[in-house]
A and B are shown apart, each in its own frame.
Chain A
Amino acid sequence: MPVTSTNKPSPAKSSAGGGFAILGAWLPALLVLTPLLIILWRSFQPAGEAWDQIVENRLPGYLRQTLVLLGSVTTLAVLFGVPAAWFVSVYRFPGRRFFEVALLLPLAMPGFIAAVGYVDAFRELIPVYVWIRKNWGIEAFLKSQEIAPWIFGTGVLAATLFPYVYLSCRAVFARQAAGALEAARLLGAGGFRCFATVAMPMARPAVAAGASLVAMEAVNDFGVVTHFGLVPLTPGIFRAWNEGNLVSSMRLAMILLVIVVIALGIERWQRGRKKYFTETPDAPLTRARLGPAGVATAWLACGIPLLLGFLIPGWRLVRWTLQSWDVMDWPTNLKASVNSFTLAAGATLLILVAAFAVTAAHRALRRRSLLLARQVGVLGYAYPGALVAVGMGALVSTLAFDFPGWASLALSGSTFGLMLAYFIRFLAVAIQPASAGFERLPESLHDAGRTLGAGPLRTLLEVDLPLIRPALVAGAALVFIDVFKELTMTLVLRPFDFETLATLTFRLTDESRIPEAALPGLLMVSLSLLGLIPLVRLLHDARR
């Protein structure tokens, strides 16, 4: 049964330990704040004529494209993710177990890799465009050329990002809404009615949470939009920076940040003040059997996103890899794999500890300021990757001024700078599930631990940690995959002779050496799949 919680008075008294915890919770948030502060400070410096020119000629297009991209990708991702989650959670049909796990696979398929597969498909459509020109005239042809990149770009992004929506909805459909759905069924409601009147209203916060992740990924995307020739804000920021207009690029980033903050605000508003959890253990739903028409619909709902987001591009990669097997540069690929793996594992560990610190401190101390620390920590995800890199560059020059000799060298030319950038950018990815985990966990459990005499730290480690472990593991898996796939910041901040699978794939595709790019792409997908294993196990645990 949904319960609306009220703010209980905090049981924790201020102490030295509390002060330390507050510091520990704020430190990650302050790190996340650093690039923002640098950008704020620098973007009020004069930008000269370059800025006027950007505002006049480029900004309207950037804004339009960003908003269209945001709207279309999120909508499509919801259309892919929600029905798939619904069928997998609520019904029994042949292939259900396969789809349940397989629908996570697109998480391991970086958008820019999938995009490469579709560039090829895009090219194979050329006879169609030529036919349009011949039969419908030049204007229709030009229109088709304008629309096609949007269809492909939106499609690729939505098909690789929808699992965020799928995951968050699955949890609701399978467990939290189970009792209500069971009751609706007993009262005679049909499948669609159950979905529309019971499941969807209950899943709305989860849809919003998943969609907000999709939205942030979409506006931060650089690889996919560049491939299809779309020009929303992120490539615009990168471009202004490339042209040497650092201040302009920072201002564009601020605009993008405002858009993202508005989107996040909408998510919060959707969620409202309601918290959905039950004080009693969740009872899994008894799955209803589907008729033949139902099975066909379920297969379509689950199969289409899976095909588009994983199977088709994956099949392309395999085909290209086999084609260019003889000319493959194995040592380079192996080295890049090790680099990618080490970076992702290291960043995940750092981020996980920080995410727990930020969310747990709030649970134990229930200070408003700690809620703020959490919200600040989440902000990093909204930063354009390119701007975290620029912010780091600016930070480095500040440091170098105070530490002549080696500060800049150590920061800009080592994996340390890269780690810090990952930390800033992806802390939110772990905080979101951790904080959702805490939200689902009744505060009474923590309070019980405290009442029985355990200190806040001990209660957190012995009561809360085991209970939110699944959420943390899910967060860790998502962070791992995100860092593994990260391209933009890695391109700029990586040290000498240091190539990750992402930068290697990007470089090779940029040089149109597509068949050779397939192997690092495929390796990236395969190793990202390792990161999915905890998520899959989590689903199994949930089923039990």
Chain B
Amino acid sequence: MKPNRGILHLLPLAAAAFALNANAAELNIYSHRHYPQDQAINKLFTEKTGIEVKVVNADADQLIERLKSEGENSPADLLVTVDAGRLQRAKADGLLQPVKSEALEKASAPGLRDAEGYWYPYTLRARVILAAKDRVQKDEIKSYEDLADAKWKGRLLARSSSSSYNQALAASVVTANGKDKAAEWAKAVTANFARPPQGGDRDQIKAVASGLADVCISNTYYLGLLLNSKDEADRKAGESVHVIFPNQDGRGAHCNVSASGITKHAKNVEQAKAYMEFLVTPEVQKMIANSTYEYPVSGDTKLSPTHEAWGEFKIDTETFPKMGENQPEAVRIFDQAGWK
């Protein structure tokens, strides 16, 4: 197809885009994260460095597709996702470049970052089991595998399998137990659902609190947000469930990360690196622990009282590196199980 040059000449915006690119004191981020706290963090970064931060928010997959289609013309300097699997995929697709930084290496455990430095995490999210305090004993469920037990029929809730959180969890089950067992697991878990998946993690917690079901799968930070909400109904919902960190006698609780990597064709590499290092400073790590209730990736950070109440737990670093690799298998397993 021959492109119409006439149309392109009509684009004064192109010139504006060029002018923006020439500005050195800026940083363009493609990000899956869009919390108010992120804006506060970006503002603080601009105050400290004078580097202006511009953000495009979208699903990680959309951002990856966009990076691919834009190629070397991409304005993005940094890709931020809330799923290590997506960054593993972006790396495999040649969309990222490695960065060497002592600060970044020091900040996170080796098991939770890319061995070659293509991306580094800055927050940690534990995907756990939450159960109604008045209907489920804390020791009734010990592992993700226990959720497949038929005794939970009509009592279990989880969000859609299109959620990267669930895909990462299933990928970890594939890595730990093999394809066939993981497929059986997904099928049995789906059969236990109290309703077809809908809404986000918070909606599952609220539904358990209101008695629609007894158990749900959720990230801990959603519970943290409910527990610290201004809305009394939210706080009550949060208080009605206990946190069960699964597989503590085995591989540990499944965790994912928010992480960032510099894009292959980044124009502002230094600014991007400075931003990544800024994210793991004690100041920002503390902001994260006290605002989004994710776990800070840096072990030295003092946790919030909400985190303290949940207690310490073992992280599954065993299956973590294969999160991206086994994600397609996880999707297949969900499909076969009918987990919508």
CB pair A126 B196 closer than 8 Å: no
- Min C-beta distance of B282 to chain A, whole Å: 26
- Min C-beta distance of A119 to chain B, whole Å: 7
A400-B70 contact in complex given A410-B11, A413-B75, C-beta closer than 8 Å: yes
The total of chain A residues at the interface (CB under 8 A) is 63
- Min C-beta distance of A417 to chain B, whole Å: 10
A126-B207 contact in complex given A398-B1, A409-B73, C-beta closer than 8 Å: yes
Contact with A along B303-340 (1 / 0, CB 8 A): 00000000000000000000000001001100110101
CB pair A412 B54 closer than 8 Å: no
Q: How far is the CA of A130 from the CA of B132 in the complex (A)?
A: 15
Residues of the B chain whose Cβ atoms lie less than 8 Å from the Cβ of A299: none
Interface size class of chain B, counting residues whose CB lies under 8 Å from the partner chain: 35 or more
B22 within 8 A of A: no
A142-B194 contact in complex given A123-B207, A126-B212, C-beta closer than 8 Å: yes
CB pair A414 B14 closer than 8 Å: yes
A406-B69 contact in complex given A126-B210, A227-B198, C-beta closer than 8 Å: no
CB pair A496 B54 closer than 8 Å: yes
B195 within 8 A of A: yes
CB pair A403 B195 closer than 8 Å: no
B200 within 8 A of A: yes
Contact with A along B1-19 (1 / 0, CB 8 A): 1010000100101100110
B101 within 8 A of A: no
Residues of the B chain whose Cβ atoms lie less than 8 Å from the Cβ of A146: 195-196
A9 within 8 A of B: no
- Min C-beta distance of B85 to chain A, whole Å: 12
Q: Identify A510's interface contact among B3, B28, B200, B331, CB under 8 A.
A: B200
Among A93-101, A174-182, A205-213, A235-243, the stretch in contact with B? A235-243
B145 within 8 A of A: no
A141 within 8 A of B: yes
Residues of the B chain whose Cβ atoms lie less than 8 Å from the Cβ of A129: 212
Contact with B along A379-414 (1 / 0, CB 8 A): 000000000000001101111101111111110111
A123-B61 contact in complex given A145-B194, A496-B28, C-beta closer than 8 Å: no
CB pair B196 A414 closer than 8 Å: no
- Min C-beta distance of B196 to chain A, whole Å: 5
Residues of the B chain whose Cβ atoms lie less than 8 Å from the Cβ of A61: 340
Q: How far is the CA of A3 from the CA of B331 in the complex (A)?
A: 58
- Min C-beta distance of A135 to chain B, whole Å: 14
- Min C-beta distance of B72 to chain A, whole Å: 8
Where chain A touches its partner, the secondary structure class is helix
A400-B54 contact in complex given A228-B198, A244-B64, A492-B62, C-beta closer than 8 Å: no
Q: How far is the CA of A222 from the CA of B195 in the complex (A)?
A: 20
CB pair B199 A409 closer than 8 Å: no
CB pair A149 B198 closer than 8 Å: yes
- Min C-beta distance of A151 to chain B, whole Å: 13
B211 within 8 A of A: yes
A512-B202 contact in complex given A229-B196, A497-B55, C-beta closer than 8 Å: yes
CB pair A403 B8 closer than 8 Å: yes
- Min C-beta distance of A423 to chain B, whole Å: 12
CB pair B73 A58 closer than 8 Å: no
Q: Identify A243's interface contact among B1, B70, B331, CB under 8 A.
A: B331
B71 within 8 A of A: yes
Q: How far is the CA of A363 from the CA of B196 in the complex (A)?
A: 52
CB pair A511 B34 closer than 8 Å: yes
A149-B8 contact in complex given A123-B206, A127-B211, A496-B75, C-beta closer than 8 Å: no
Residue of B nearest to A503 (CB): B57
CB pair B11 A244 closer than 8 Å: no
CB pair B340 A410 closer than 8 Å: no
Q: How far is the CA of A61 from the CA of B34 in the complex (A)?
A: 32
Contact with B along A33-55 (1 / 0, CB 8 A): 00001000000000000100110
Residues of the A chain whose Cβ atoms lie less than 8 Å from the Cβ of B56: 495-497
Residue of B nearest to A407 (CB): B8
Q: How far is the CA of A146 from the CA of B197 in the complex (A)?
A: 10
A409-B198 contact in complex given A398-B3, A496-B56, C-beta closer than 8 Å: no
- Min C-beta distance of B50 to chain A, whole Å: 18
B181 within 8 A of A: no
Residues of the B chain whose Cβ atoms lie less than 8 Å from the Cβ of A393: 65-66, 69
Q: How far is the CA of A231 from the CA of B328 in the complex (A)?
A: 20
Residue of A50, A127, A239, A409 with most partner-chain B CB within 10 A: A409
B142 within 8 A of A: no
B162 within 8 A of A: yes
B59 within 8 A of A: yes
A416-B59 contact in complex given A129-B212, A229-B340, A408-B69, C-beta closer than 8 Å: no
Q: How far is the CA of A400 from the CA of B336 in the complex (A)?
A: 39
A525 within 8 A of B: no
Residues of the A chain whose Cβ atoms lie less than 8 Å from the Cβ of B340: 61, 229, 231
- Min C-beta distance of A400 to chain B, whole Å: 6
9 A-B pairs, CB-CB below 8 angstroms? A119-B203, A123-B210, A142-B194, A145-B194, A149-B195, A149-B198, A229-B340, A403-B8, A413-B75
Q: Sort A-B residue pairs by CB-CB distance and give the 8 closest, nearest first.
A: A229-B198, A145-B195, A410-B14, A57-B335, A242-B61, A414-B13, A138-B154, A126-B210
Could you list 20 further interchain pairs (A-B, Cβ under 8 angstroms) beyond the known A133-B154, A393-B65, A496-B28? A50-B328, A53-B332, A123-B210, A126-B207, A126-B212, A130-B210, A130-B211, A138-B154, A229-B195, A241-B65, A242-B59, A393-B69, A406-B73, A407-B14, A408-B69, A408-B73, A409-B14, A412-B66, A497-B56, A511-B35
